[in-house]
Amino acid sequence: MVERTPGESDAEMAALVERNGFALVSAFSAWGRARVHDGPDTLHVLSDVPDPAFNMVVRAGLSDETVDVAIAAIQASATSRDTPLAWLIGPESTPPSLGARLERHGFHREEDVLAMSLDVRTLRLPRPAPGLAVHEVDDARALATWAHIVTAGFALPSWAEGPLRDMTDALLRTSSTTFHAFVVRRHGDPIGAASLFVTDGSAGVYNVATLEHARGHGAATAATVAALRLAVEDGCEHAVLQASPAAASVYRRLGFQVRGRIEVRAWTPDRQVRRDRDPD
């Protein structure tokens, strides 16, 4: 069992997980197809790509009096783009009734993800499993491979691969953020991927994915370890991530601790539902 680090409360670490995610979504503004709203009320991104991975609300600081108006306004903006939405409800989200209010506006509860953190200052990183090698993305070909693995690994629509590649390219190129992407190869074949976003001394691990046929060979662990190694080199104190309960065991073995939960809700405009059912 992993011991708690003295002085680190679950609430503090859960907030660190959320803040890293907030900063990453803010950085989406480097991509021309994303429109980021970062205000005291909400932090959300909307695009013209009809998938919730590109359209989401990640922070809400609303009151009981303003929440319904804010939800309806964001839904109207998404409807005008004909795009679905994901809304993340974390420990810092307000009001406490946000989940119930979103339910009234048609957001269904998709899943709960775990907010996890790790103190990297005393971390001992394992070596990759035999046959695995991890390379940082440094050219267009490697980026295309990375985007393909993440798209397939997360079962995103195949047409999302291009927008994901282009958005990641924008993140890699901007000088205002520190973003890295990694590809895992097994005996030369690309099978896994991950990314790292560094902000304010915390390193966020994202996009850990493995192609379905190659799972069970340690690719997710190798990708995460490569990201953590770079986090140490960048002088970070903590690594953070958001994991599904099914994937949490991979991160627990590396020393990550669960610090809280983030509720994910999803909504689709009626017009898109009709289009998907009857695509003309």
Tokens matching residue 264 = 């994910």
Task: Judge whether residue 251 has pLDDT over 90.
Answer: yes
Count structural domains, the chain. Answer: 2
Does a cis peptide bond (omega within 30 degrees of 0) precede residue 50? no
CATH number of the domain where residue 215 is located:
3.40.630.30
Does 268 reside within a domain?
yes
- Asked if 48 and 140 sit in the same domain, the reply is no
- Asked if 100 and 142 sit in the same domain, the reply is no
pLDDT in tens, 76-121: 999 999 999 999 999 999 999 999 999 999 999 999 999 999 999 8
- Asked if 205 and 233 sit in the same domain, the reply is yes
Does 80 reside within a domain?
yes
Residue 237 to residue 56: CA distance in whole angstroms: 28
Q: Which residues pair with 117 in a beta bridge?
A: 240, 257
- Asked if 92 and 154 sit in the same domain, the reply is no
pLDDT in tens, 64-78: 999 999 999 999 999
Does 271 reside within a domain?
yes
Does 5 reside within a domain?
no
pLDDT in tens, 42-55: 999 999 999 999 99
Query: pTM to 2 decimals?
Result: 0.91
Q: Do residues 26 and 203 make contact, with C-beta atoms less than 8 angstroms apart? A: no
Provide the residue range defining the domain that includes 128. Answer: 119-260
- Asked if 87 and 129 sit in the same domain, the reply is no
Tokens matching residue 50 = 């009809």
pLDDT in tens, 217-246: 999 999 999 999 999 998 999 999 999 999
- Asked if 58 and 145 sit in the same domain, the reply is no
- Asked if 138 and 232 sit in the same domain, the reply is yes
Tokens matching residue 136 = 């940082």
